[in-house]
Amino acid sequence: MTFWICGTCAVEHAERIDVCAICADERQWVPADGQHWTTLEELAGSGYRTEVVELEPDLFGVSSTPKAGIGQQSKLVRTPAGSLLWDPLGYLDDDAVRRVRELGEVVAIAASHPHMFGVQVEWSRRLGGVPVLVTEADAEWIARPDPVIRLWKGTEEVVPGVTLSQVGGHFPGSAVAHWAAGAGGRGVLLSGDTLFPNPDRSSVSFMRSYPNRIPLSPGVVERVTRHVEQFAFDRVYGNFENRIDADARAVVRRSADRHIAWTRGDFDHLT
């Protein structure tokens, strides 16, 4: 079956439509010269390749060179009960599938939000038809429907110790994945960009749109922060190579308090 990949966000589409709805939304963007479409075959012919690296014991990053679309680094969480592929890439090849399989059986694929859907259905097919989990609130953004897609809401334990949780904010269905055994048992939060580890490595951001710089309100930031505070975690991985290595739960709270204070006007005298 031929399917199309948006050249800007790398989300798979069943049909080559006029414009990718994900990119036409205010949270993303369409190139000045218009919509571009590509295929896996075209990307492979252009020299794309994949890389799998160990980030910490039982957590691996999967990326492509060049970057496909937004260019996220997928995360593969390995447990004795199976693995979760998180924020699937917009590109794959036989080598990537082989290396992922060698690390253990993938039992579920999930994205933090629609920008990270990538070629999720294709990943599922190459990995044996494993379920692709999409939040009900974000189902409208599915551009390649398939029976492997299963909708969920609220909280979903993928395997023991790995829990998906719908946080909202960036998208109504934006989710995080909590891995209890990560960071040496102190807990890891895979945040996508529901909350985004910043370049200073000591703060995170909360945004409706990152490329278009649309912030979330103080109320939503407080809600998102309280939601993730139900989990114990010492480390946060974003949807690229960005991360907060230690004391991440406290970093999230300090960052939320700073965001709320600035957007509330507490520091207007500094502007």
pLDDT in tens, 61-73: 999 999 999 999 9
AA identity, residue 162: V
In this prediction, residue 16 carries a pLDDT of: 96
Q: Give backbone dihedrals phi and psi of 81, rounded to 5 degrees, phi first.
A: -95, 0
Whole-structure pTM over 0.95, yes or no?
A: yes
The residue-averaged pLDDT of 43-64 equals: 97
Percentage of the chain beyond pLDDT 70 is: 100
Query: In 66-138, where do the E strands start and end?
Result: 74-79, 82-86, 106-110, 132-135
Average pLDDT, the chain: 97
Alpha carbon 257 to chain centroid distance? 24
Joined together, the tokens standing for residue 180 give 């209890």
The tens digit of pLDDT for each residue in 90-129 reads 999 999 999 999 999 999 999 999 999 999 999 999 999 9
In this structure, which CATH number among 3.40.605.10, 3.60.15.10, 3.40.50.2030, 3.50.50.60 belongs to the domain 4-270? 3.60.15.10
Task: Compute the distance between CA of residue 238 and CA of residue 10 in angstroms, rounded to an integer.
Answer: 18
In the structure, what pLDDT confidence band is assigned to residue 1 with cuts at 50, 70 and 90?
low
- The per-residue pLDDT for range 6-32, each reduced to its tens digit, is 999 999 999 999 999 999 999 999 999
d(CA 16, CA 12): 10
Q: pLDDT tens digits, residue range 159-173?
A: 999 999 999 999 999
Residues 186-213: tens digit of each pLDDT: 999 999 999 999 999 999 999 999 999 9
Helix pair angle (218-228, 248-264), 10° resolution:
170
DSSP 208-252: EETTTTEEPPHHHHHHHHHHHTTS--SEEEESSS-EE-SSHHHHH
Residue 156 has pLDDT above 70, yes or no: yes
When pLDDT is cut at 50, 70 and 90, the band that residue 2 belongs to is confident
Q: Please, what is the Cα angle at 113 between 6 and 163, to 5 degrees?
A: 140
197 neighbors 95 (Cβ within 8 angstroms) = no
The whole-angstrom separation of Cα 183 and Cα 197 is 16
Return the pLDDT at 235. 98
Mean pLDDT calculated for residue range 37-41: 97
